[in-house]
Structure 1
Amino acid sequence: MSNSIVLNERSSQQSGSQIRELRTSGRIPATVYGKDIGSVSVMVEEKSFLATIKENPRAILMADIPTKGKKPVTIQHIQKDPITRKILHIDFHQLNMNVAMDTKVTIHFSGEPIGVYEGGVMQVELYEVDVRCMPDDLLSAFEVDITKIGIGEHLLVSDLEFHKGVEVLTDPTAVVIKVSPAIEAELEDESAVATPVVPEVDKPTA
């Protein structure tokens, strides 16, 4: 938990024009929620925030709130403009470092499956898994060596070896990645495109 970020307080009664002015000046309005502090309206420098979360958006941040002190937080929600994708607002959640948390961990795939060199097609089914752990045990990402996966073989969630203290909540039988024969993969793609979505229609009552 080495990342720190400064959250300066702002009035919770700001008007729409004041919020727009805030964003124009390179700052993002945000709110911190927590058992100890309730709800606190804050703002954060956009450049600083983006640089802090670049490597791991789910990392635990040490938020420095001038009137509240330093609090461990995670990002609960980021609201973005649907067109420009610019960040409009951020919700932070204060953590209790003594209580387990539910979150997601991104899977990073290392190497190239041997099955791909043999003519197979790699298909990734999951890019992240749900886990439960203490905040200090939170992983930024989970590295998986996929070089030994051959044609017709796959890797399940149950095959992922997390360190002690991390409970995986995702279905252990779920496929993470597989290597299919080229023809089979093409048929799966064609089936996904060709299968029409039929809307449900209520039957008329007599």
Structure 2
Amino acid sequence: MSISIQANKRTDFKNSTNRKIRDEGNFPAVVYGNKTESTPIYLNSADFIKTIREAGRNGVLTLQVDKQKYSVMLHDIQTDPLKNEIVHADFQVVDMKKEIDTEVSLSLVGEAKGTKEGGVLQQSLYEISLKGLPQDIPSSIDVDVSDLGINDTITVADIKVDKKLEITHDAKDTVASVLPPQQEEEPDSGEIQDAEGDVEATKEKDNEE
């Protein structure tokens, strides 16, 4: 069962109205897709954050706009990092019986054994493309890196998902790897001798003076 969230239609698009919406703890948004006419709305920021934390980034929500209900997924969100507030969001209406293509975030879990030997864990891919029914799309996918040694790599092909889902991302793309520790270059023996010679020459010159 999806989680419900209340929204209201926007009919006034003046900048002053948008400022008032934000000043009252709300933010503007739009709902569209699946033969639904694009509808400007606004939601309460605190309610939205609470709902997304509960449902997940890719969770299916029941969006109540006045007397109309929509099954939606959060398609895009814009935030202001300086003010720490939501600027705008896009909600896409989905058909629960039709598969969708979407992006799902990747989260590395575990401690790579290569890091215990001085290696550096590097994540190269943070999202992958998936296809499946809206209710089957996970909010994120955990990638276990515990067995990753130095110079080892995990690719998209190594990621396991539910049989109901299809990974449409390039299977060859690197997700994570452990880089070998960087070694400091030792100075060339010739350079050391030249430096020592310069020091001795400087001392002799100082003694002559």
**Which TM-score applies when normalising by structure 2?**
0.79
The answer to which structure has the higher helix fraction is 2
Deviations 1:122-142, CA, capped at 9 Å, x for gaps: 111112211111112111111
1:100 and 2:124 matched: no
Q: Where do residues 168-183 of structure 1 align in structure 2 (5 Å cutoff)? A: 168-183=167-182
CA distance in 2: counterparts of 1:139 and 1:81, whole angstroms = 26
Question: Residue 57 of structure 1 aligns to which amino acid in structure 2?
Answer: R
Q: Where do residues 83-98 of structure 1 align in structure 2 (5 Å cutoff)? A: 84=83, 86-98=85-97
Name the structure 1 match of 2:59: 59
How far off is 1:111 after superposition?
0.9
Larger Rg: 2
Question: Residue 172 of structure 1 aligns to which amino acid in structure 2?
Answer: A
Name the structure 1 match of 2:201: none
How far off is 1:35 after superposition?
3.5
Partner secondary structure for residue 164 of structure 1: coil
Partner secondary structure for residue 54 of structure 1: helix
Name the structure 2 match of 1:7: 7
Change in Cα spacing, 1:110 to 1:81, as seen in structure 2 (3 Å) is: closer
CA distance in 1: counterparts of 2:116 and 2:64, whole angstroms = 50
Question: Residue 64 of structure 2 aligns to which amino acid in structure 1?
Answer: D
Q: Where do residues 123-162 of structure 1 align in structure 2 (5 Å cutoff)? A: 123-162=122-161
How far off is 1:57 after superposition?
2.5
Deviations 1:134-157, CA, capped at 9 Å, x for gaps: 112111111222111111211111
RMSD after superposition: 2.2
Aligned residue pairs: how many? 184
Deviations 1:70-89, CA, capped at 9 Å, x for gaps: 21111223234475353222
Question: Residue 149 of structure 1 aligns to which amino acid in structure 2?
Answer: L
Name the structure 2 match of 1:35: 34
CA distance in 2: counterparts of 1:146 and 1:81, whole angstroms = 33
Name the structure 1 match of 2:163: 164
Q: Which runs of 5+ in 1 are unaligned?
A: 188-206
Question: Residue 37 of structure 2 aligns to which amino acid in structure 1?
Answer: G
**Which TM-score applies when normalising by structure 1?**
0.80
